[in-house]
């Protein structure tokens, strides 16, 4: 079953001047179609301005499509009556860890979402504990978010979404402001959630090494989907990725360069181990 | 031009329960025209160290000499030091405040009390150096894209004509395109203007690609000070303190473990490719 | 500097006072402040002192810590003292030019001094023993009836708690921007009033821009987590009165009763 489905989805930012007349129209998403199966880990790549963040906000019904349709768990995101059902089904984690934590104590922040959707007190506490355990932050439950590292804050934010029991989590560049260790922790956490809790993950990022474990990669450029496939399929096309001003992991690029120089290595090497195996077979 | 740090120590909240030894006996000499990478995980003391270099923070003990002059001497002009050692903070676009790009970039030179003509010249030059075109100089800095904003903010420091440019994670939060634009510009400045550059970065790949000397901080101590090759040769120790080496260094070391007699020193794709090709030709042909 | 202000801080300790319902503490503090203005005789002060210091003792907050909070309001304190001392008409004890000290002045100055001190001690004791969140919850609940006259009580409480979360972040940010501008040669310390006010622009503009950006992000994050105002919301920590809370109300009643009794008798 598809948890998210888009059909000819278009979103335009319309800028108006002081008289309210249209000043300019910027098409952030240009009639795209895609679907995401329940339980999948999907990564969306693209440089800034490619439309990937707009897409994230559309899924969370923060932005309504200008034309075309987007369904989340079968609900049309244009249907205002289903707004809160959509947001509960597809939780969202944002880029800046500081600007999405509301409370001054970790556990109270995790309880914020369940409070909003009217969960009874006793169950809120159960959910808070469960979610904090799932992201490995249970021992910090009484801490102030200000004392946590960036990676820990993002994990608290993820727990805050988990506590709403979503079917899908959309993460909009969750690691852009983190150091390498924080990035690793966050990616590890969402990978685990995907595997153990079967939560559908939609990871928006521009770090190529984070998408290697994904089931599917979607590359966006100028509001359109330009590449789609498994990480191996997508990373086989180094030249094409470079055309969209994207990187490939260093080892993938090295393998590609070696192949260009005549060494017989298959396309789409993703890890150090794969490359070493291939080379030692020569 | 040189900066010398002699047994520099810094303690936060000295002689209270919150005391934290952020810098421990740092000895360091930064020479003219170097391109240095400073690495260390969050809280290792990197930020504290760079703020000492332009006098924003004062060492609890030890001495710092700029061109042989003691910067803590009474008659030393701290403002001159701040213009000579330009410091670009993390997310520098958060300091933009003027109504136009050119005015914002002029803020630094204006504070130096320069004549108007000189201020304009410097501002234009700095914007050119970071690749901001003339069409944008009268735009509001708040209307630019993320990468452009950041380059304008860097121009704001360059306009002071620093001899040393320190950048604290200048590419944080940017996409690959924005990152390359900034690092390439900085490399060019280093090459053409002979500016000494200190680059604080979390990306070992970037550091390996650009710098010729690496400083590694851990828990307030300077634990490595050497060329990229020699520093990344210690990749296991780097891992122990929460850092890593570039991916290609791992490839080379793993190949060596497999009995393939390649050198483990490459730190960039180019070097690794040449080394593997050299081996492959020897073995295959 | 900012670190020295202890008023409004929370002092973690395990005491009955800490565990009391925030509404009890809010109402209790309010009653105590009112009580200070109910009497004007020596015995009243004795009763109020026993009451206040008794509670401080039970609260386990070190007395030294509470007194530190007084320092930051020393100026207002001295001003009131001097004002009362010299400006009260009555039997003149000492005079120099237009300044005179009267018997009544001394008496009022001392009483006012004690009242002010107790007022500050009493209200800071409340913040020392109540976490900010708890306090906001208490306020929301105590002010609940105002909802009927269309006061957005829940929203006010939510604003307060968000402010509490973001004040430290914005302070840190101020420090960062200040350093960044200093690195560009800005000078925040010297010069006359006008120059200094002008030098604040490079600090204040980025700070406001950042605060608005954060507010925007936060609003979006809250909406994404289904926040739709106070309506239909459940509470993670619903307020509930326990035996100790009813007992405290009893203690307050006794205290007020004694004071009023004294007023009638004396």
- Is A48 in contact with B146 (Cβ distance < 8 A)? yes
Q: Are A234 and A219 contacting, i.e. CB atoms less than 8 angstroms apart?
A: yes
Model confidence band, residue C81 (pLDDT cutoffs 50, 70, 90): confident
Question: Domain residues of chain A, as ranges?
Answer: 2-231
Model confidence band, residue C7 (pLDDT cutoffs 50, 70, 90): low
> Is some CB atom of chain B closer than 8 A to the CB atom of C230?
no
> Is some CB atom of chain C closer than 8 A to the CB atom of A91?
yes
Residue C52 CA to its chain's centroid (Å): 16
pLDDT given for residue B17 in this prediction: 65
How confident is the model over C230-251, as pLDDT tens digits?
Answer: 788 888 888 889 999 999 999 9
Taking contacts as CB-CB distances below 8 angstroms, the residues of chain B near C185 are 79, 82-83, 107-108, 111-112, 160
Q: Which residues contact C212 (CB under 8 A, 6 or more apart)?
A: none
Model confidence band, residue C9 (pLDDT cutoffs 50, 70, 90): confident
Model confidence band, residue C206 (pLDDT cutoffs 50, 70, 90): very high
- By percentage, how much of chain B surpasses pLDDT 90? 79
Calpha distance A200→A169 (Å, rounded): 6
Question: What b/e sequence results for C221-246 when a residue is b if at least 16 CB atoms lie within 10 Å of its CB, and e otherwise?
Answer: bbbbbbbeeeeebbebeebeeeeebe
Choose the weakest-confidence range: A104-108, A150-154, B35-39, B213-217.
A104-108
Calpha distance A279→B9 (Å, rounded): 48
Q: What is the pLDDT along chain A (282 residues), one digit of tens a residue?
A: 789 999 999 999 888 877 778 878 888 999 999 999 999 999 999 888 888 989 999 999 988 899 999 999 999 999 889 999 999 999 999 999 999 999 888 999 999 999 999 999 999 999 999 999 999 999 999 888 888 999 999 999 999 999 999 999 999 999 999 988 899 999 999 999 999 999 999 999 988 889 999 999 999 999 999 999 999 999 999 999 988 888 888 999 999 999 999 899 998 899 999 999 999 887
- Is A279 in contact with B176 (Cβ distance < 8 A)? no
C-alpha distance from A20 to closest chain C C-alpha (Å): 22
Name the nearest CA neighbour of B28 among B58, B5, B45.
Answer: B5
3-state secondary structure chain A: CEEEEEEEEEEEEEEECCCCCEEEEEEEEEEEEEEEECCCEEEEECCCCCCHHHHHHHHCCCCCCCEEEEEECCEECCCHHHHHHHHHHEEEECCCCHHHCCCCCHHHHHCHHHHHCCCCHHHHHHHHHHHHHHCCCHHHCCCCHHHCCHHHHHHHHHHHHHCCCCCEEEEECCCCCCCHHHHHHHHHHHHHHHHHCCCEEEEEECCHHHCCCCCEEEEEECCEEEEEECHHHHHCCHHHHHHCCCCCCHHHHHHHHHHHCCCCCCCCCCCHHHHHHHHHCC
Interface probe for C, chosen from A56, A98, A111, A169 (most Cβ of C below 10 Å), is A98
Can you give the pTM of this predicted structure? 0.87
Calpha distance A116→C231 (Å, rounded): 9
> Is some CB atom of chain A closer than 8 A to the CB atom of B172?
yes
Which CATH architecture fits B34-55+77-227? 3-Layer(aba) Sandwich (3.40)
Interface probe for B, chosen from C184, C186, C205 (most Cβ of B below 10 Å), is C184
- Is B146 in contact with A245 (Cβ distance < 8 A)? no
- Is A254 in contact with B250 (Cβ distance < 8 A)? no
Residue A119 φ then ψ, to 5°:
-75, 140
pLDDT given for residue C2 in this prediction: 44
- What is the average pLDDT score of chain B? 92
- Is A48 in contact with B269 (Cβ distance < 8 A)? no
Report the CATH number of the A2-231 domain. Answer: 3.40.50.300
Q: Bridge partners of A216?
A: A42
- Is C185 in contact with B108 (Cβ distance < 8 A)? yes
Model confidence band, residue C3 (pLDDT cutoffs 50, 70, 90): very low
> Is some CB atom of chain B closer than 8 A to the CB atom of A246?
yes
Is the pLDDT at C82 greater than 90, yes or no?
no
- Is C185 in contact with B87 (Cβ distance < 8 A)? no
Model confidence band, residue C197 (pLDDT cutoffs 50, 70, 90): confident
pLDDT given for residue B176 in this prediction: 87
What is the ipTM score, two decimals? 0.89
Q: Are B127 and B120 contacting, i.e. CB atoms less than 8 angstroms apart?
A: no
Taking contacts as CB-CB distances below 8 angstroms, the residues of chain C near A161 are 225
Is the pLDDT at B285 greater than 60, yes or no?
no
Q: What angle do CA A179, A182, A185 make, to 5 degrees?
A: 150
- By percentage, how much of chain B surpasses pLDDT 70? 98
How confident is the model over B111-158, as pLDDT tens digits?
Answer: 999 999 999 999 999 999 999 999 999 999 999 988 899 999 999 999
């Amino acid at each position: 079953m598809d948890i998210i489905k888009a059909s000819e989805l278009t979103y335009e930012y319309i800028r108006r001047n002081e008289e309210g007349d249209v000043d300019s129209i910027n098409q952030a998403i240009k009639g795209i179609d895609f679907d995401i199966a329940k339980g999948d880990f999907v990564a969306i790549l693209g440089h800034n301005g490619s439309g990937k963040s707009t897409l994230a906000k559309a899924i969370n019904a923060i932005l309504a499509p200008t034309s075309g349709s987007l369904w989340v768990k079968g609900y049309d995101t244009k249907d205002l009556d289903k707004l809160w059902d959509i947001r509960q089904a597809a939780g969202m984690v944002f880029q800046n860890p500081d600007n999405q934590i509301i409370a001054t104590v970790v556990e109270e922040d995790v309880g914020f979402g369940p409070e909003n959707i009217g969960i009874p007190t006793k169950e809120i506490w159960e959910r808070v504990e469960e979610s904090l355990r799932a992201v490995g932050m249970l021992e910090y439950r009484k801490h102030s978010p200000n004392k946590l590292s960036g990676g820990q804050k993002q994990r608290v934010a993820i727990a805050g979404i988990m506590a709403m029991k979503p079917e899908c989590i959309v993460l909009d560049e969750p690691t852009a402001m983190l150091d390498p260790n924080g990035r690793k922790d966050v990616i590890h956490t969402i990978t685990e959630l995907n595997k153990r809790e079967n939560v559908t993950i939609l990871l928006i990022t521009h770090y190529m090494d984070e998408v290697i474990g994904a089931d599917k990669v979607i590359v966006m450029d100028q509001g359109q989907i330009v590449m789609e496939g498994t990480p191996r399929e997508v990373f086989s096309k180094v030249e094409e990725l470079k055309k969209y001003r994207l990187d490939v992991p260093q080892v993938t690029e090295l393998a590609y360069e070696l192949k260009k120089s005549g060494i017989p290595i298959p396309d789409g090497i993703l890890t150090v181990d794969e490359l070493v195996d291939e080379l030692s077979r020569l | 031009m040189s900066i010398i740090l002699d047994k520099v120590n810094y303690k936060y909240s000295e002689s209270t329960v919150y005391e934290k030894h952020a810098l421990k006996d740092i000895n360091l000499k930064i020479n003219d025209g170097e391109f240095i990478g400073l690495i260390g995980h969050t809280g290792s003391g990197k930020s504290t160290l760079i703020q000492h270099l332009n006098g924003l923070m004062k060492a609890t003990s030890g001495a710092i000499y700029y061109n042989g002059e003691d910067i803590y001497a009474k008659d030393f002009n701290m403002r001159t030091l701040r213009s000579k050692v330009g410091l670009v903070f993390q997310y520098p676009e958060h300091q933009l405040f003027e109504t136009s790009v050119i005015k914002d970039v002029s803020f630094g030179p204006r504070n130096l009390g320069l004549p108007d003509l000189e201020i304009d010249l410097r501002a234009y030059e700095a914007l050119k150096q970071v690749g901001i075109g003339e069409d944008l100089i009268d735009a509001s800095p708040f209307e630019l894209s993320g990468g452009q904003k950041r380059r304008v903010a860097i121009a704001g420091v360059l306009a002071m004509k620093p001899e040393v440019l320190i950048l604290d994670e200048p590419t944080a939060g940017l996409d690959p395109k924005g990152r390359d634009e900034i690092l390439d510009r900085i490399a060019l400045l280093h090459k053409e203007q002979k500016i000494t550059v200190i680059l604080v970065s979390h990306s070992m790949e970037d550091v390996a690609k650009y710098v010729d000397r690496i400083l590694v901080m851990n828990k307030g101590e300077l634990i490595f000070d050497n060329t990229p090759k020699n520093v990344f040769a210690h990749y296991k120790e780097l891992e122990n303190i929460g850092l890593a080496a570039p991916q290609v260094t791992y490839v080379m070391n793993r190949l060596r473990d497999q009995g393939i007699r390649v050198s483990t020193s490459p730190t960039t794709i180019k070097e690794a490719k040449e080394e593997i090709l050299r081996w492959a030709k020897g073995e295959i042909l | 500097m900012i670190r020295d202000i202890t008023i409004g801080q929370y002092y973690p300790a395990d005491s009955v006072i800490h565990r009391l319902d925030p509404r009890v503490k809010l109402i209790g503090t309010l009653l105590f402040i009112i009580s200070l203005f109910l009497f004007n005789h020596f015995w009243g002060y004795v009763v109020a002192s026993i009451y206040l210091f008794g509670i401080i003792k039970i609260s386990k907050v070190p007395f030294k810590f509470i007194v530190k909070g007084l320092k930051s309001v020393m100026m207002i304190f001295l001003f009131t003292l001097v004002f009362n001392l010299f400006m009260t008409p009555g039997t003149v004890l000492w005079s120099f030019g237009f300044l005179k000290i009267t018997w009544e002045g001394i008496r009022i100055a001392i009483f006012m001094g004690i009242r002010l001190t107790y007022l500050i001690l009493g209200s800071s004791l409340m913040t020392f023993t109540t976490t900010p969140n708890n306090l906001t919850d208490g306020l929301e609940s105590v002010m609940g009836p105002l909802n009927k006259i269309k006061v957005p009580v829940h929203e006010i409480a939510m604003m307060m708690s968000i402010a509490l979360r973001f004040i430290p972040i914005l302070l840190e940010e101020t420090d960062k921007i200040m350093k960044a501008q200093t690195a560009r040669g800005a000078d925040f310390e010297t010069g006359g009033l006008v120059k200094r006010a002008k030098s604040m622009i490079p600090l204040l503009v980025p700070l406001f821009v950042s605060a608005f950006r954060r507010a925007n992000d936060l609003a979006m994050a809250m909406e994404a987590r289904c926040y739709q105002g106070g309506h239909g919301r459940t509470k993670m920590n619903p307020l509930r009165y326990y035996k100790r809370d009813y007992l405290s109300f009893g203690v307050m009643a006794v205290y007020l009763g004694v004071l009023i009794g004294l007023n009638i008798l004396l």
